[in-house]
Structure 1
Amino acid sequence: MKKIIPLLLLVIALGYSIFQLTEKKQEEKKVSKNDSYIASIQKMGVQVGQQAPDIELMTLDQKKVKLSSYKGKKVILNYWATWCPPCQDEIPVLEKFYQKNKSDIVILGVADFIGEKKDLNFVNNFVKKNNMHYQILLDEKGDNFRKYGVISIPTTFFINPNGEVIYKQIGPLTEKQLNQFLK
């Protein structure tokens, strides 16, 4: 009996090690699949190095604005929606960055107005509730989401003063990424 206990402990330890190794490999597969998904959608739509297509959007006070009117400035073009949890998570990061750097950059938050059921009051209330002071624009028909090839939100394009896309981020932005844009 005394000889069986150490052997039993060894078998349990070996079984646990195999279980841990299997779990780690499954987790790596999940991460790899997620990375593959992001890499595949990264290749869709407007790409780094291309000129940013000009788009015309509606402001919250129902005026038309063209992206080309910001030529000569650094622009962060952020596609988002009120119903999107990752978008909601990045709002404070964008707002903090905007408040700190508003003389050096323009942030254009392009809301998915179709997904908002075209309720301007709802979007206005959301913007006020979340203390969003950067420019919020509405994609009235979804044309601009399509023009940029946005299929996952948030998606953000960093555009240099010459109108060229210099960085594309699918998923929430970090403070570090935003600060890199200023350099």
Structure 2
Amino acid sequence: MAFAEKYRDDIHVVMLDRGDGPALVELFVSHFRVPDNVVVLFDEKNRWSPPYGVTGQPETFFITANGKVVRHVVGPLTASQMVSYAKAAGMKVHERWRAS
């Protein structure tokens, strides 16, 4: 959440729910204080996950502005990993970043 807030003007963060439903997702968004710039999508019919090879959660994709997936990570990420992978995808990130 800190990463999404810090780079809110430079990087688009999208969360995809594959079946938890709106009520549970609303609790998650509230509990973890998901920034208002994060887009939350519902994939009730599981249309988005198969083309990207999603197998579980959490999974993170770094996608260039032209739609190329440059990194697919299964499992949680550290702040430094997120910055490194975002750079590799050509996203604007500051050299030194710390979670606040």
| TM range, smaller chain | 0.7 to 0.9
Is 1:122 aligned to residue 17 of structure 2?
no
Secondary structure, in 3 states, of the residue corresponding to 2:9?
Answer: coil
Deviation for aligned residue 1:122? 2.4
Larger radius of gyration, structure 1 or 2?
Answer: 1
Deviation for aligned residue 1:121? 2.1
Give unpaired runs (5+ residues) of structure 2.
88-92, 94-100
Is 1:151 aligned to residue 65 of structure 2?
no
In 2, distance between residues paired with 1:128 and 1:109? 14
Deviation for aligned residue 1:165? 0.9
Q: TM-score, normalised by structure 2?
A: 0.75
Percent of residue pairs identical? 32
Counterpart in the other structure of 1:98: 4
Secondary structure, in 3 states, of the residue corresponding to 2:48?
Answer: helix
Counterpart in the other structure of 2:97: none
RMSD of aligned Cα (Å):
1.4
In 1, distance between residues paired with 2:6 and 2:44? 30
In 1, distance between residues paired with 2:4 and 2:33? 12
Secondary structure, in 3 states, of the residue corresponding to 2:67?
Answer: coil
In 1, distance between residues paired with 2:31 and 2:59? 22
Counterpart in the other structure of 2:66: 162
Give 1:1-183 correspondences, 5 Å limit: 95-113=1-19, 116=20, 118=21, 120-133=22-35, 134-180=38-84, 181-182=86-87
Partner amino acid for 1:163? G
More helix by share: 1
Partner amino acid for 1:179? V
Give unpaired runs (5+ residues) of structure 1.
1-94
Deviation for aligned residue 1:150? 0.8
Q: Any runs of at least 4 consecutive aligned residues in structure 1 with deviations exceeding 6 A, and if so which?
A: none
Secondary structure, in 3 states, of the residue corresponding to 1:166?
Answer: strand
